[in-house]
Structure 1
Amino acid sequence: MTRSYDQSCPAARALDVVGGRWSLLIVRELLLGPKRYTDLVAGLPGIGPNVLAERLRALRDAGILSQAKLPPPAPSAVYELTELGAAMRPVVDELTRWGMRLPSPHRPGDTFRLNWVLGCLRASFRPEEASGVRETYEIRVDGDAFHLRVDDGVLDIRNGGAPDPACVITTDLGTFLAIGARLVDIQDVVARGLAQLEGELPAAARAIAILGAHPEATGGRHGIVGAVGASFRPDRALGVRETYEFVIAELVFHARVDDGTVEMDIGPAADAVTTLVTDLGTLLQLGSGSLPLEDALSAEVVDVHGDLEAALRMADAFGVVRADRPASAH
């Protein structure tokens, strides 16, 4: 049975339509283009088939979406947003922008889909950087492809390849997130073989300038060193006075912790009590909370040289999830 707030208020009427669990996430999925029922099931892990069918029916009755047939050679029924439904794009974008400001954006056990990153890209789009730009960028991440079409300050993001991309960037998820967060430079990751670029480097640089993280996202601190420093949690480092060293591929830097404060610097440290050695993708997983340090050690994607207990203190100080720490504590 459909529930209503029974209020003569536009906001309340809007929530009558999309305020129920899953409804807005269905709209989120369809903002990237038409989807088959099976595509929606894959993009909404945890939703039951009966619930999905009911939500689709309610959204269709409200004029938010409609059904259509894909043309041959593989005709099938798809769901797509109507003009009224597509008008929710700025609402979803603003909600995404607000959500990106919340603490602990990723919790252990959370599911992850590349499509959800695309919503973050759209939310971080800066029209002023795209004035006069008319080109398309194709991104391939771990076998999935999507493209971004910029037309003089207007952005459209869609699943699948593009027939006329100004550039094609092919990489893995960790590197893609690092590029978008401006932790690494596109020219650097291409030179190191972490990404492949087809097309002109200036086009790829424009895509990142238009869609990458805002400078204020890391408090003005750029690069891997700045990002690690930005994750420091003073409350977890009270009474701790020791130095930790990080070796990420060819980059070496260290963090000097002194009773709740930290100083980051490039280069090795003569007095490091422990050294963490890993690759960029694993570092991002550790930092996002999707990979506990102990699991990374067991999988041998991280090496610790020196005091293991100090490495665990370092994990606490820099917000890395510990296998023995409840998710709510992160």
Structure 2
Amino acid sequence: MTRSYDQSCPAARALDVVGGRWSLLIVRELLLGPRRYTDLVAGLPGIGPNVLAERLRELRDAGILSQAKLPPPAPSAVYELTELGASMRPVIDELTRWGMRLPASSRPGDTFRLSWVLGCLRASFRPEEAIGVRETYEFRVDGDAFHLRVDDGALDIRNGSATDPACVITTDLGTFMAVGARLVDIQDAAARGLAELEGELPAAARAIAIVGAHPEATGGRHGIVGAVGATFRPEHALGVRETYEFVIGGLVFHARVDDGTVEMGLGPAADAVTTLVTDLGTFLQLGVGSLPLEDAVSADVISVNGDLEAALRMADAFGVVRAGGPVSVH
């Protein structure tokens, strides 16, 4: 039983209801639509069955959620938010926005679910980009489907397929995140076979503009080359004069560093001191700080060809997370 703060304060009363461990995360899952008990177990790795059952009962007793029956052909009991529970959407969104400002880190044992990315999409939604837009976009990512419904500046994100999508984008998680982060243009991803697009390209472009990374996230430069250039930290490259080459899923580009300045360019570099070779998904993880360079090398998901010390200088100049331990290059 969740203990009460016994304070006559709206904030304390709210925490009496949703302040227990897992309670807000249960609400997070249900904001994407009704969920079966097994769906909640899958979306909340680490929760014990007794704790989940108790939290569901507490939230139901508080009027946050209710139980309903799905209609045939697959009748089953589901949990869904009440009007009171659904009104917590701005609270969860603001908490997500605040969390996105914290330093990115990945700890041993951390898990990852696509539904958690969807909360970030909702939190990064820009209503001004969706004024006058009324359409639905469907995404199929590694076998999971969800859709975004935009209605003149308002957004609703739900699990499952859509009945009337303006476009359907099918891809893997790495490409999905790269497109959303503006590291890869959706048209380029489709042309390179990284994504399959059904429907009109302009509709897909609108979807990315509405919920993708803000233009200032890459200094107005969208695409892998521009985004990498935007992460350059001049103060970490003073006195450095060397060229680094990147081979990312078949795309080759380079960065020429000259005493705190950088010049990005497509294609290989004849004078590269080191070359980083990896796939798009791993490269994205390096970029967002969820995968240290040394860990990627140790796991053989990335290779560094050339001067190892130069690779470490490159990582420092472009803000790639370091694990702090020794690196063994194969």
With normalisation by structure 1, the TM-score equals 0.89
In structure 2, what is the Cα distance between the partners aligned to 1:149 and 1:29? Answer: 18
Residue segments in structure 2 that go unaligned for 5+ positions in a row: none
SS at match of 1:166: strand
Q: Does 99-108 or 193-202 show the bigger shift?
A: 99-108
**Paired residue for 2:76?**
76
Partner SS, residue 149 of structure 2: strand
Could you tell me whether the CA contact under 8 Å between 1:182 and 1:212 is conserved in 2?
Answer: yes
Decide whether the 8 Å contact of 1:218 with 1:227 is kept in 2: yes
Q: CA deviation at 1:185?
A: 1.0
**Which residue in the other structure is 2:102 paired with?**
102
Aligned counterparts, 1:190-205, within 5 A: 190-205=190-205
Compute the displacement of 1:96 (Å).
1.1
Q: Which residue of 2 aligns with 1:282?
A: 282
* Structure 2 CA distance for partners of 1:264 and 1:3, relative to 1, 3 Å: farther
Aligned to 2:27: 27
Q: Which amino acid aligns with 1:251?
A: V
Alpha-carbon distance between aligned partners in 2 of 1:60 and 1:257, rounded to the nearest angstrom: 61
Change (3 A) 1:57 1:182: same
Aligned to 1:256: 257
Q: Is residue 210 from structure 1 mapped to residue 181 from structure 2 by the alignment?
A: no
Instruction: Measure the CA separation in 2 of the matches of 1:266 and 1:135.
Output: 37
Shift in Å, 1:317: 4.3
Distance in 2 between residues matched to 1:155 and 1:30, nearest whole Å = 16
Q: CA deviation at 1:319?
A: 4.1
Q: Which amino acid aligns with 1:73?
A: P
**Distance of 1:200 and 1:221 partners within structure 2:** 24
Render the CA deviation track for 1:44-63: whole Å, top value 9, x for unaligned. Answer: 11111121111111111111
The residue number in structure 1 matching 2:183 is 183
Secondary structure of residue in 1 paired with 2:165:
coil
Counterpart residue identity of residue 165, structure 1: P
* The 10-residue stretch of structure 1 (230-239 or 248-257) with the greater mean CA deviation from structure 2: 230-239
Q: Distance in 2 between matches of 1:211 and 1:230?
A: 20
The 8 Å contact of residues 106 and 288 in structure 1, kept in 2 or not, is answered as no
2:264 is matched with which residue?
Answer: 265
- Cα 1:270–1:148, aligned 2, differ >3 Å: closer, same or farther? same
User: Cα gap change, 1:25/1:210 in structure 2, threshold over 3 Å: closer, same or farther?
Assistant: same
Specify every segment of 5 or more residues in structure 1 that has no aligned partner in the other structure, as ranges. none
Query: One-letter code of the match for 2:211?
Result: L
Please, which moves more after superposition, 127-136 or 219-228?
219-228
Q: Once the 2 structures are TM-superposed, how far is the Cα of residue 85 of structure 1 from its aligned partner?
A: 0.1
Task: Write the mapping of 1:231-242 to structure 2, written as runs, cut at 5 A.
Answer: 231-232=231-232, 242=242
CA shift, 1:73, in A, is 1.9
Deviation for aligned residue 1:266:
1.2
CA deviations over 1:44-99 (Å, ceiling 9, x no partner): 11111121111111111111011111122222111110000000011111111121
| Separation (CA, whole Å) in 1 of partners of 2:106 and 2:233 | 16
Query: Aligned in 2, Cα 1:295/1:257: closer, same or farther, shift over 3 Å?
Result: farther
CA shift, 1:148, in A, is 0.8
Distance verdict in 2 for CA 1:48–1:230, change over 3 Å? farther
- Change beyond 3 A, Cα 1:102–1:226: farther
Name the structure 2 match of 1:145. Answer: 145
Letter paired with 1:265: M
Deviation of residue 109 (structure 1)? 4.1
Match of 1:127 in 2: 127
RMSD of Structure 2 on Structure 1 (CA): 2.4
Contact map agreement 1:276 1:304 (CA 8 A) in 2 = yes
* Change over 3 Å in CA distance of 1:117–1:42 after alignment to 2: same
1:197 maps to amino acid: L
Report the more deviating stretch, 78-87 or 301-310.
Answer: 301-310
Match of 2:227 in 1: 227
Q: List aligned pairs for 1:163-174, cutoff 5 A.
A: 163-174=163-174
| Residues 168 and 57 (structure 1), Cα distance of their counterparts in 2 relative to 1, 3 Å cut | same
Any conservation in 2 of the 1:135–1:166 contact (CA below 8 Å)?
yes
